[in-house]
């Protein structure tokens, strides 16, 4: 029991050290640049405590649940020797975690509202909701496809840098043809895919897969799926914008 409490205290202190730079920056600017006290110090302190506790439980959940299950499922799928199920699983993980990502929902909704204001789509709730929904589906499909291709890359041992270089070349080319109204949304869509659920599961899947395949290195082949998953939404959303606009 004592050993458990000591470990618990160490983990909480480690999380506190991680958010300490944020506290220092916010406090310094509030007191020395803005030169005003915090509007509600009690709410600020309680909010920081909730952030500390939330991050602690989140990190513990990743270590106890998501990382092990991702690695186990990768090992089990590779043991079956059926690459199609592995690709389908990778697509399903990418699609399901992205379509429900709160950041993507917020960005898609705001993009729909702005598109309506710019008269790119009819100014109705239905059209805005439809625009936001299909934007989310486009991003989710692109992430799912990227994870499947990334899994295939690990299995085949293909170097990831060629995928990234060629992908960004196509993105640069497409940026010159895409409507200016969608370019910023497309680039932001690539960023919102790095969610708190997608990243741990995909990273665990990649590392677990590279670990259980002979000749693959977890550090060389296991990582890189997230970079590829963040690249493809930019390309797909610009294509979506060309079709919509």
Domain boundaries, the chain: 66-244
Q: Are 181 and 115 in contact (CB under 8 A)?
A: yes
**What pLDDT digit, counting tens, does each position of 195-224 carry?**
666 777 777 777 777 777 777 777 777 777
Which pairs count as long-range contacts for 170-178, CB under 8 Å and 24+ apart, including other chains? 170/235, 171/231, 171/234, 171/235, 171/238, 174/235, 174/238, 174/239, 175/238, 177/242, 178/238, 178/239, 178/241, 178/242
Cα within 13 Å of Cα(110), Cβ side: 10
pLDDT at residue number 125? 78
With cut-offs at 50, 70 and 90, classify the pLDDT of residue 169.
very high
- The H-or-E segment that residue 233 falls in is helix 225-244
Which token pair is 192? 């919102």
Distance between CA 161 and CA 26 in Å, rounded?
Answer: 38
pLDDT confidence of residue 70: 66
Average pLDDT over residues 156-169: 86
pLDDT level of residue 120 (50, 70, 90 thresholds) = low
With CA atoms as reference, report the closest residue to 116 among 181, 175, 184.
Answer: 181
CB 151 within 8 A of CB 87: yes
Q: Is 81 helix (H, G, I), strand (E, B) or coil?
A: coil
Alpha-helical segments (H) within the chain: 2-28, 41-61, 67-80, 83-99, 102-117, 125-156, 160-177, 180-191, 198-212, 225-244
């Amino acid at each position: 029991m004592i050993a458990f409490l000591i470990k618990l205290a160490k983990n909480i202190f480690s999380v506190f050290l991680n958010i300490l730079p944020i506290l220092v920056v916010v406090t310094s600017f509030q007191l020395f640049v803005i030169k005003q006290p915090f509007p509600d110090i009690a709410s600020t302190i309680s909010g920081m405590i909730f952030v500390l506790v939330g991050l602690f439980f989140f990190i513990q959940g990743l270590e106890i649940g998501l990382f092990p299950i991702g690695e186990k499922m990768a090992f089990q799928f590779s043991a079956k020797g059926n690459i199609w199920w592995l690709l389908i699983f990778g697509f399903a993980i990418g699609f399901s975690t992205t379509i429900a990502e709160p950041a993507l929902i917020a960005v898609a909704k705001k993009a729909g509202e702005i598109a309506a204001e710019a008269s790119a789509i009819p100014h109705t709730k239905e059209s805005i909701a439809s625009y936001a929904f299909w934007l989310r589906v486009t991003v989710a499909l692109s992430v799912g496809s990227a994870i499947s291709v990334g899994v295939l890359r690990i299995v085949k041992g293909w170097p990831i840098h060629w995928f990234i270089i060629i992908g960004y070349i196509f993105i640069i080319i497409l940026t010159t043809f895409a409507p200016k109204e969608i370019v910023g949304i497309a680039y932001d869509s690539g960023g919102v895919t790095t969610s708190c659920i997608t990243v741990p599961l995909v990273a665990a899947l990649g590392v677990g897969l590279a670990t259980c395949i002979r000749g693959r290195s977890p550090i060389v082949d296991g990582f890189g799926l997230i970079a590829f998953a963040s690249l493809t939404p930019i390309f797909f959303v610009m294509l979506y914008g060309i079709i919509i606009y």
